[in-house]
């Protein structure tokens, strides 16, 4: 795994009526993730099990029970032939038994704070090495997985635009002077959008692909459900266009720089255009570059009550959001066409926009 905390303690022996589990746990070795925050933890035992903290496997639970520790949870799993992995909730002791192997179902693994995913060690791959599906792995190694055809843009994460040897991302920014009276911009915990953003201001940063062909791939965007920024007058093949409108502070200090998505950028309002893929199954993973670092896509607006992110081979995702406190004294135009997941919130013109943040397994 790219970031981790590897733990081994002294000898621990515990017993249940069906199996004697012996684990070797000695010494401590830690490494920190971005910003000094531990992002995962791995435990390796001589009984052949590994564990990763703050992750869980979804969609493969066949039985849920309670256990007093994550070790007893995977001990319960080990004595059942059907069980191949286990999720354990540190807070309440929920133990979920899974009928799927960690190494064969990496696309079902999600970041879930306070949970431990335990799995049987693969003696070839070892602990914590989550292989991509072979077809995607082969494409990555041969350089065939590049950013798709067309011109478009992505929100810029803290780490910057994804590394890419085939073209140069053009960058830009839009400063929104949001409502100044009782200003109340908010954002999700652990958001990865590039700063600055404050209670009364927000700056969006963009990674823009301005060349249609990059030389790495001639693939169009695959079917699915996701959105990107539009650049130019048309969307990439298969995608539909739409827009979102911001009513920024009247008489405010909006400004822009660099290369921007298509739209309208005025002193007191903003319209940004998007391109969305709406003709696919978001649960079917798509191929995008997973070796260049983290990136964002937008979840597409839908009738579903909760936000759904497109699955991407070799990547895990988290849902993030930003709430804009817009001008109080005028009505904001509603979104138009196909656009990211958008939610009206408190105040006459305030709304949240949701983001899907992806990072490599």
* Domains in the chain: ranges and CATH: 5-120 (3.50.4.10), 142-360 (no CATH)
Identify the residue with better confidence: 8 or 152: 152
Closest CA to 98 of 121, 73, 122: 73
Percent of the chain exceeding pLDDT 90 equals 35
Split at pLDDT 50, 70, 90, the class of 216 is low
Q: Output 328 or 295, whichever has higher pLDDT.
A: 295
With tokens 């791995």, the residue in question is 42
Token digits for 274? 């998007």
pLDDT at 137 over 60: no
**What is the band of 173 on the pLDDT scale with cuts at 50, 70, 90?**
very high
Least confident of 38-47, 64-73, 319-328: 38-47
């Amino acid at each position: 795994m790219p970031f981790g905390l590897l733990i081994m303690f002294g000898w621990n022996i515990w017993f249940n009526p069906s199996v004697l589990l012996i684990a070797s746990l000695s010494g401590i070795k830690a490494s920190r993730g971005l910003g000094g925050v531990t992002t995962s933890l791995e435990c390796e035992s001589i009984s052949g099990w590994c564990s990763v903290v703050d992750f869980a496997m979804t969609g493969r639970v066949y039985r849920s029970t309670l256990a007093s520790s994550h070790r007893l949870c995977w001990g319960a799993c080990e004595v059942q032939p059907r069980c191949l992995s286990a999720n354990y909730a540190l807070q309440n002791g929920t133990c979920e038994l899974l009928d799927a192997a960690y190494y064969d179902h990496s696309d079902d693994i999600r970041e879930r704070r306070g949970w431990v995913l335990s799995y049987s060690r693969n003696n070839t791959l070892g602990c914590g090495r989550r292989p991509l599906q072979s077809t995607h792995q082969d494409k990555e190694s041969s350089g065939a997985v590049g950013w798709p055809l067309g011109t478009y843009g992505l929100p810029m994460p803290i780490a910057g635009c994804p590394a890419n040897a085939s073209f140069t991302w053009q960058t830009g920014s839009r400063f929104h002077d949001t409502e100044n009276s009782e200003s109340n911009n908010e954002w999700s915990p652990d958001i990865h959008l590039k700063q600055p953003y404050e209670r009364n201001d927000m700056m969006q940063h963009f990674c823009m692909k301005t060349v249609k062909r990059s030389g790495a791939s001639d693939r169009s965007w695959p079917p699915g459900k996701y959105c990107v920024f539009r650049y130019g007058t048309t969307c990439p093949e298969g995608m539909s266009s739409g827009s979102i409108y911001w009513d920024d502070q009247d008489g405010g200090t909006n400004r822009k720089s660099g290369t921007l998505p298509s739209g309208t950028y005025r002193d007191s309002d903003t319209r940004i255009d998007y391109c969305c893929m709406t003709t696919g199954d978001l649960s079917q993973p798509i191929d995008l570059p997973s070796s260049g670092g983290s990136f964002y896509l937008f979840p597409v607006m839908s009738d579903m009550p909760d936000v759904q992110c497109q699955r991407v081979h070799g990547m895990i995702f988290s849902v993030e959001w930003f709430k804009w406190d817009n001008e109080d004294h005028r009505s904001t135009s509603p979104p138009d066409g196909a656009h990211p997941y958008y939610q009206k919130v408190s105040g006459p013109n305030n709304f949240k926009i949701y983001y899907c943040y992806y990072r490599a397994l």
